Amino acid sequence: MTKRVLHVVTNVGHYDDPSHATGLWLSELTHAWHVFEEHGYEQKLVSPAGGAVPLEPRALKFPNYDRTAKAWRADPAKTALLENTASPDGIDPSEYDAIYFTGGHAVMYDFPGSEGLQHITREIYERGGIVSSVCHGYCGLLDTRLSDGSHLIAGRRMTGFAWTEEVLARVDKLVPYNAEERAKQRGALYEKAVLPFVSHVVTDGNLVTGQNPVSAKATAKKVVEAVEGAAARKRG
C-alpha cells in the first residue's frame, strides 16, 4: 500500500512588525518532498487556515535558494499547490502514515494555536504513525497534547531551531517567543548540535525532528526509515 505524508505549511506572511516579511522556508519543504517522492509516497499540503502560503524572502536568496527550491518555483503544478492548501478540517488523519511540519519563522504564529493540526497530530501519533518537524516546525508540537492530557513532546528527545541560531540570524528581537525554551517548559528533552547551522536530526520512537533548514533532507530520510519500520512491525 502506498505510504502517505502530510506536509504542514504556514499562512503567515510577516512578523508582529508588518515591515518584516516571513513565510515558508521553501527548501525545508522541497528537500523533504523530493525524498518522499523518490520513495513513491503520496504527499499533500495542509495549513492552519487553508489556502495560500507566503514564502520567506531570505529562503529565496543564495545560498538557501537551491536546486530543489528553484525547480519547485519553475513548476506551475507545484506552485499551484502552495496557492490552495487544504485546511485541517478537510484532512482525515487515518489516511496518513506521517505528518511533517515545515518551518520558517512564520509558523511560530499560526502553528501552535491550531486545534485542527493538534487533532491530526495526536491521531497520527497515537496509532503509531510518525510525527516529524524541521527547524521552527516544532512550534506545531509545543501545545499538542495526547489523549491523557500530557504534552506530546514531554519526556521525548527532540530538536528544532536553537535560540543560539536565532541570535546569530539576528532575528531574536523579532520572534514572538523563545521556541527552544518553550519546548523545555513542556518537558521536552531538547538537544542541539555542537555547532549552529549544521544538519542535526533526533529520532525518539515515532517522533523525528530536525534542527534547522539544512536538516530537512536528513530529517525526511529518517521519517522514511521510521515509517518503514512501523510498517514492518505491523506486518510482524
Using pLDDT thresholds of 50, 70 and 90, give the confidence band for residue 6: very high
For residue 134, is pLDDT > 90?
A: yes
Q: Nearest CA to 28 among 73, 53, 71, 59?
A: 59
pLDDT of 28-64, one tens digit each?
999 999 999 999 999 999 999 999 999 999 999 988 8
The whole-angstrom separation of Cα 228 and Cα 67 is 27
**Three cell numbers, residue 182:** 518553550
pLDDT at 137: 98
Average pLDDT over the chain reads 97
108-142 burial: b if 16+ Cβ within 10 Å, else e? bbbbbebebbbebbbbbbeeebbbbbbbbbbbbbb
- Cell, residue 152: 506530546
Asked whether residue 17 carries a pLDDT value surpassing 80, the answer given is yes
Q: How confident is the model at residue 189 (pLDDT cuts 50, 70, 90)?
A: very high
Burial 57-81 (b: 16+ CB within 10 A, else e): ebbbeeebeeebbeebeeeeeeeeb
The amino acid sitting at 165 is E
In this structure, of 90-104, 175-189, 200-214, 222-236, the range with the lowest mean pLDDT score is: 222-236
**What confidence score (pLDDT) does residue 157 get?**
98
Is the per-residue pLDDT at 97 higher than 90?
Answer: yes
